Structure 1
Amino acid sequence: MNLIHVVGARPNFVKMGPLYQELIGRDEVSQTILHTGQHFDPEMYQIFFDQFSLPRPDIELGITGASVNEQLSKMLSAIDNILSSLPPSVIVVYGDVTSTIAAALAAIRYSHKIVHVEAGLRSFDQTMPEEINRILVDRIAHRLYVTEQSGLDHLLNEGVEKDKVVFVGNIMIDSLYRYIEKTKPPYEVEAALADGREYAVLTLHRPANVDSPSRLKNIFDGIAQIASQYPVVLPLHPRTRERCQEYGLDLASIEGLILREPIGYIDMLSLVRGAKVVLTDSGGLQEETAAIGVPCVTIRDNTERPSTIECGSNRLVAPTSEGIIFGVKEALIPNPDMHVPPLWDGRTAKRIAEDLLEFYASRESICA
């Protein structure tokens, strides 16, 4: 089986790592890593290859910057050129980013089989580019691996054939369980935190939040009030930094807000593990906090990960100062019923690998 992992954005690497490692040493599998370049900042991707002990990508397209549509066009053309000259392969795509849809659209023209890891998630908000990507990839993929019950339900309700869909659990949690023992006390990661001091962690990057001056200001008005009670550590996403500069928002003036450059996976996990509460618009952090039992406040109008709410770790709040303040207050109330969602057990990569080999063996046409 010639298997090609297509990655491009930071969350893709966390999802790919466990599956790549699980398939190493299997004589029947040849693995190739294709990196589109969607996240080109070394802090946004190279550190993941280092920390996950992954080899350099076999193919690096270096497609960076530009608008989403321009990125998609360039990726589609470049990936198409690569796949057109390869024998029938299994193309594994992860999540919902531009690189994911580009690879799937390129592969569908040929005899390659498309595998979607993290299929079926839905926010039902089609103003989000990620939502469109999810829907389109799920419609054309040949094998769909879902992380939670809602994903399975959505796909079956949309008419996807039942035998294409497999509920395997959350592969991001494989990475978390594998590396959590390497985490350090948060005060070693963040010098401004005294040993044992309570603090919050914030991440913010989604266009719906950061591309609106009024919404972004409103969010940081709420964060300022939280920061007056607990230090708030903010590893600043490049997009958010640019928008704050463009809108004249001086984050450095917010007392208690600790600004940092993007940090590596293990350092971030160290901060999250020790936090009193996490505030985010990231899908991955909603999942990671659910797995380790840290209260999470999701600053969005919707979430495609309802299992994190159902398990009691996550609260969805409006992106307003009032919503944030209320959400943190609610999140800090102890919840004895908090639990980890089903199959988020660190063995998802093994389940995917075994099913992939079975899937490949059962479809002789893939080798034709």
Structure 2
Amino acid sequence: MKITIIAGARPNFMKIAPIIHAFQKAKAQGENIDFRLVHTGQHYDKKMSGSFFEQLEIPEPHANLEAGGGTQAEQTAAIMIGFEKELLENPSDLVLVVGDVTSTMACALVAQKLHTKVAHVEGGIRSGDWGMPEEINRLVTDSISNYFFTTSEGANNNLRNSGVEEARIFYVGNTMIDTLLKQRPNFKKPAIWTELNLQEKAYLVMTLHRPANVDQESNLKKLMDEIIDHSQDLPLVFPVHPRTAKILKSMGVSHPRLHMVEPLSYLEFNYLVERAKAVVTDSGGITEEASIMNVPCMTLRDNTERPETLELGTNELLGTDPKAIAPAMEKLFSDNWKKGREIPLWDGNTAERIVKHLLQISPKL
């Protein structure tokens, strides 16, 4: 059985790394399974050097389609053109897509047009917000996938409610957590730790990237002002995209406690998160990681596709109204923030379960 694995952005590689390890282990044990790793090049990331793949203990991609840039439509088209050529030259029994980036949707479409079956890792998750490009990617990908590897019972129900048969749904857990648990002992102290003389549980980590937050300048300034005003005397460490940094600078957002730094590597960023008093973010993946590390998490969004982080984790949905910041900070500093509980199957063994199911369905491919 030959499987083509698709990754389009840095977080995708965190999700596929444990799957590759599980493939390699199964192959070493004599199973008929092999893979080809395709990077669509959807996101250019200067930190994705050879050392990035060494840290994750995975090979560099067999192919890079270099399909980044352009509008949503241009990028989708570039990925589809590149992947069609790739799949014709390197046929596969199954295409494995992960998450909800444009590459996930585009490659699923190409595979089905070439009569190759598709498995979606993280199938079934929904935010209910069609204003998010990721939600459209999820809906389209799930509508044409053959098999689904899910992270929660909620995702299972979403698929059932859309008419997916039980036999095609495999509840396995979260591969992002496989990587987190494996790499936790390897978290790396970033230079900013020493430069700012940071102390455990005595600073906040921030990330903001969604257009709903960073493109509405007046609201962004109010959010930043509220966070600064109500974070007591703690440093605010904000690994920030250059585009967002430019917007903040143009608005005159600055403060002695606000430290806007270059984006960090996976190991460095999670070193900071693990030791932070709390995280303020609009990223879904960070809510998962913060919940597993039992770090309070404030999410500046009106919805989430990861409700388990609200129900069992440390995440709270604040919305995008700046007035929500003050009561959340008061709750944090009065030590009344909820503690994380065990999330079913988020145990570090998800990838092995995926490979077990793939081997079982291989005769059908």
Match of residue 297 from structure 1: 298
Match of residue 310 from structure 2: 309
Match of residue 17 from structure 2: 17
* Alpha-carbon shift at residue 186 of structure 1 (Å): 6.8
Alignment equivalent of 1:116, drawn from 111, 115, 120: 120
* Alpha-carbon shift at residue 242 of structure 1 (Å): 4.7
Match of residue 5 from structure 1: 5
* Alpha-carbon shift at residue 196 of structure 1 (Å): 4.0
Deviates further, 73-82 or 210-219 = 210-219
In structure 2, how many angstroms separate the alpha carbons of the residues matched to 1:59 and 1:141?
Answer: 23
**Unpaired stretches in structure 1, ≥5 consecutive residues:** none
In structure 2, how many angstroms separate the alpha carbons of the residues matched to 1:186 and 1:331?
Answer: 25
Alignment of 1:155 onto 2:159: yes
Q: Is contact 2:298–2:317 with CA below 8 Å preserved after alignment? A: yes
Match of residue 198 from structure 2: 194
In structure 2, how many angstroms separate the alpha carbons of the residues matched to 1:61 and 1:112?
Answer: 19
Deviates further, 186-195 or 119-128 = 186-195
Residue aligned with 1:108, SS: helix
Distance 1:134 1:47, change over 3 A: farther
In structure 2, how many angstroms separate the alpha carbons of the residues matched to 1:52 and 1:175?
Answer: 8
Q: Is contact 1:187–1:194 with CA below 8 Å preserved after alignment? A: no
Cα shift readout 1:237-279 (whole Å, capped 9, x = no counterpart): 244235445xx2234x222111111111111110000000001
Q: Is contact 2:10–2:45 with CA below 8 Å preserved after alignment? A: no
In structure 2, how many angstroms separate the alpha carbons of the residues matched to 1:7 and 1:239?
Answer: 24
Match of residue 349 from structure 1: 351
Deviates further, 13-22 or 180-189 = 180-189
The one-letter code of the counterpart of 2:110 is A
Residue aligned with 2:205, SS: strand
Match of residue 54 from structure 2: 50
* Alpha-carbon shift at residue 68 of structure 1 (Å): 1.6
Q: Is contact 2:209–2:244 with CA below 8 Å preserved after alignment? A: yes
Residue aligned with 2:234, SS: coil
**1:1-368 equivalence runs, <5 A:** 1-25=1-25, 26=27, 27=30, 28-43=32-47, 48-184=52-188, 189-196=193-200, 198-244=202-248, 248-251=250-253, 253-332=254-333, 333-335=335-337, 338-361=340-363, 363=364, 366=365
Distance 1:336 1:235, change over 3 A: closer
The one-letter code of the counterpart of 1:60 is N
In structure 1, how many angstroms separate the alpha carbons of the residues matched to 2:51 and 2:350?
Answer: 23
The one-letter code of the counterpart of 1:347 is N
Cα shift readout 1:15-56 (whole Å, capped 9, x = no counterpart): 011101111140512211111112212226765323102211
In structure 2, how many angstroms separate the alpha carbons of the residues matched to 1:15 and 1:126?
Answer: 24
In structure 1, how many angstroms separate the alpha carbons of the residues matched to 2:73 and 2:246?
Answer: 20
Residue aligned with 1:93, SS: strand
Deviates further, 277-286 or 46-55 = 46-55
Residue aligned with 2:237, SS: strand
Q: Is contact 2:314–2:339 with CA below 8 Å preserved after alignment? A: no
Distance 1:228 1:249, change over 3 A: farther
Give the count of matched residue pairs. Answer: 360
Q: Is contact 1:13–1:45 with CA below 8 Å preserved after alignment? A: no
In structure 1, how many angstroms separate the alpha carbons of the residues matched to 2:242 and 2:10?
Answer: 13
* Alpha-carbon shift at residue 77 of structure 1 (Å): 1.2
TM-score (structure 2 length as normaliser): 0.93
Q: Is contact 2:201–2:275 with CA below 8 Å preserved after alignment? A: no
In structure 1, how many angstroms separate the alpha carbons of the residues matched to 2:200 and 2:309?
Answer: 27
Distance 1:214 1:331, change over 3 A: same
Distance 1:238 1:355, change over 3 A: farther
In structure 2, how many angstroms separate the alpha carbons of the residues matched to 1:80 and 1:182?
Answer: 38
Deviates further, 4-13 or 185-194 = 185-194
* Alpha-carbon shift at residue 327 of structure 1 (Å): 2.4
Q: Is contact 2:222–2:322 with CA below 8 Å preserved after alignment? A: yes
Distance 1:170 1:45, change over 3 A: farther
Distance 1:50 1:212, change over 3 A: farther
In structure 2, how many angstroms separate the alpha carbons of the residues matched to 1:348 and 1:65?
Answer: 32
The one-letter code of the counterpart of 1:310 is E
In structure 2, how many angstroms separate the alpha carbons of the residues matched to 1:337 and 1:82?
Answer: 46
In structure 2, how many angstroms separate the alpha carbons of the residues matched to 1:67 and 1:342?
Answer: 38
In structure 2, how many angstroms separate the alpha carbons of the residues matched to 1:216 and 1:337?
Answer: 29
In structure 2, how many angstroms separate the alpha carbons of the residues matched to 1:321 and 1:70?
Answer: 35
In structure 2, how many angstroms separate the alpha carbons of the residues matched to 1:9 and 1:239?
Answer: 18
Cα shift readout 1:175-204 (whole Å, capped 9, x = no counterpart): 111011112467874520334460000011
What's the C-alpha RMSD, in Å, of the aligned pairs? 2.0
Q: Is contact 1:44–1:262 with CA below 8 Å preserved after alignment? A: no
The one-letter code of the counterpart of 1:311 is L
TM-score (structure 1 length as normaliser): 0.92
**Unpaired stretches in structure 2, ≥5 consecutive residues:** none
* Alpha-carbon shift at residue 87 of structure 1 (Å): 2.8
